[in-house]
Amino acid sequence: MRLILVGPPGAGKGTQAVQLAKHYKIPHISTGDIFRANLKNGTELGKQAQSFMDRGELVPDSVTNEMVRERLGNSDVGNGFLLDGFPRNTNQAEVLDGILKAKNMPLDAALELKIDHAEIIKRLSGRRTCRGCGASSHIEFEKPKVAGVCDKCQGELYQREDDKEEVVSRRLEIYSEQTEPIISFYKSAGLLKNISALGEVSEITKNAIAILK
């Protein structure tokens, strides 16, 4: 299965990606997670990305596309992959197309997660992210067993800098201006599937697997 997930910030791409990657036994590649790991480790890539991420802007394509090209050069994508948060504009979608054509690995589907504005705000304002493993939880909807502590690795939970209100509204603008156009790109390619991102996490995963059959 070669799959990309598309949807606004807070739609649950990361949450669903974890489940789908387990189901299909494929690597979960999140450009946001890769940038955050680089930030944490103080790498050059992290330094390049930080100011854009903090403002809710896209990291320049020259940086992001090369990072993805390199990641897709890894042998673990032989059985497929799930891209979460990439592509995010038409240029990235075209570059991805070129990378996959050259590898003779066409996409199977682009899965769009649909969600309304009010729900996005509730999800992002209550989201907590693990400093250790990057997993998301929620103070109300996906409570960790111990407040402030990650269930998976016991790492410390924090609020992402870009989950603050002002930055969230910029991320939503960027989504509608730059990312939404790729939905018609995948629709014309006959690859687009969509499901509702509302309801129980496990129900959404079931619906995703059913529509991807």
The catalytic residue positions are 13, 88, 127, 160, 171
**Pattern 120-159, Zn ion, x by CB under 5 A:** ----------x-xx-x--------------x-xx-x----
**Shortest spacing between CB 34 and Mg ion, in angstroms:** 11
Residue 204 binds ligand AP5 (CB under 6 A)? yes
Q: Which is nearer to ligand AP5, 127 or 186 (CB)?
A: 127
If one asks whether residue 12 binds Mg ion (CB under 5 A), the answer comes out as no
Residues 5-64 that bind ligand AP5 (CB under 6 A): 7, 9-15, 31-32, 35, 52-53, 56-59, 64
The one among 8, 10, 12, 14 contacting Mg ion by CB under 5 A? 14
CA distance 160 to 206: 28
Smallest CA-to-CA distance from 106 within 6, 20, 186, 15 is with 186
Give yes or no for residue 191 binding ligand AP5 (CB under 6 A): no
Out of ligand AP5, Mg ion, Zn ion, none, what residue 81 binds, judged by CB under 5 to 8 A for its kind, is: none
Which residues contact Zn ion by CB under 5 A?
A: 130, 132-133, 135, 150, 152-153, 155
Which residues contact Mg ion by CB under 5 A?
A: 14
